[in-house]
Amino acid sequence: MSHDSMNPKERWTAVLQRKKPDRIPLFWSSTQETLDKMKKFLGVSENSEFFKKLHVDEIVSVFPAYVGPRVSEGYDFFGCGYKKVSYGTGSYSECVYHPLAGYETLSEIKSNYKFPSIDWFDCSVIKKQIQGKEHLPIYGGGMEPFLRYTQLRGLEKAMMDLVEKPDIVEYCLENIFQLYYRITMGIYEEIPGKVLLTMVAEDLGSQETLLFSPETIRKFFLPRMKKMMSLAHENGACVITHSDGAIRDIVPDLIECGMDVLNPVQWRCRGMDREKLKKDFGNRICFHGAMDNQHTMPFGTIEDVKQEVMDNIRILGENGGYFLGPCHNLQAITPPENILAMYDTAYENGWY
């Protein structure tokens, strides 16, 4: 067993720059319930101690302080309302109130709704958020505008709007984009050159196919994603794009826009074969995730988990360009033994 010769920031930077790190970086992504359960299982109380035990590289996320108008309990600064919903195997905060759901026309929205303003955010707190953590990868800025739009309008309306009310979609997406673009600029200005990764996300796939036609994606989503990705690159950050599901057909477009890292690589979805993804795109992007969270992690045996780790290292980790972790938040239903097996196997076998 080798010992780490790089700190987390150096390791992540090496992968992003297509240099060989000491080992494959491991990341953590889970629901709060899973984290609590795992800490209990390992007998640790502190997150940092927990990450050390699993050889996970801790990351630091930065975001400005909210200093805008008072937000009521259960609501966010866009006026969307949330409720905790239990599904038996875990509880989730679900958006249940959509402030723009009642409007039929763009002019109604313009006269009745005010988008959040950049003045509601204070970036001066960000230096403090990274204090003493300069050796860790720093995440900051970015956006996921259509997700926000679905919260403002409700999912069904939002999907239909793309066809029936494109003017409303354009207006709202542009306002959402402008806010996050300016927040992202504020973050970069506050800690110049320190942000390693910026998330420019949009969920574009189902298990079988794209959720939208390629034309719709190219019209409504990609132009703004490209602008945000360019801003990241101008400020020395790499772009990680989160997009679940079967998105193979749009990967070349995302690369064209400036994506550097693809998350979460749901390889069981149609067209998302790992060998093909690595062969076709591995010289242009890194892969982040790929530990299957629908079958292997929750329902597989420890042997299944170990095998999948080895496959991912062999396929996606060849010549670098891979961060190993779950391909979405680990759920509370996942056996702690499987989670432990994933990180232990990856640490033992991920050395270059």
> Distance between terminal CA atoms of the chain?
12
Instruction: For the beta carbon of residue 326, count every other beta carbon within 10 angstroms.
Output: 23
pLDDT tens per residue, range 144-198: 999 999 999 999 999 999 999 999 999 999 999 999 999 999 999 999 999 999 9
Alpha-carbon dihedral angle through residues 76, 172, 179, 81, given to the nearest 10 degrees: 0
- pLDDT at res. 246: 98
The confidence band for 293, taking pLDDT boundaries of 50, 70 and 90, is very high
- pLDDT at res. 119: 98
pLDDT tens per residue, range 2-32: 688 999 999 999 999 999 999 999 999 999 9
pLDDT tens per residue, range 313-339: 999 999 999 999 999 999 999 999 999
- R_g of the chain computed on alpha carbons: 20
- pLDDT at res. 156: 98
**Structural tokens at position 218:** 């190219």
pLDDT tens per residue, range 226-274: 999 999 999 999 999 999 999 999 999 999 999 999 999 999 999 999 9
The confidence band for 1, taking pLDDT boundaries of 50, 70 and 90, is low
Q: Give buried/exposed letters for 195-227 (b at 16+ CB in 10 A, else e).
A: bbbbbbbbbbbeeeebbbeeebbeebbbebbbe
Phi then psi for 306, rounded to 5 degrees?
A: -60, -40
Domains in the chain with CATH codes = 8-64+124-349 (3.20.20.210)
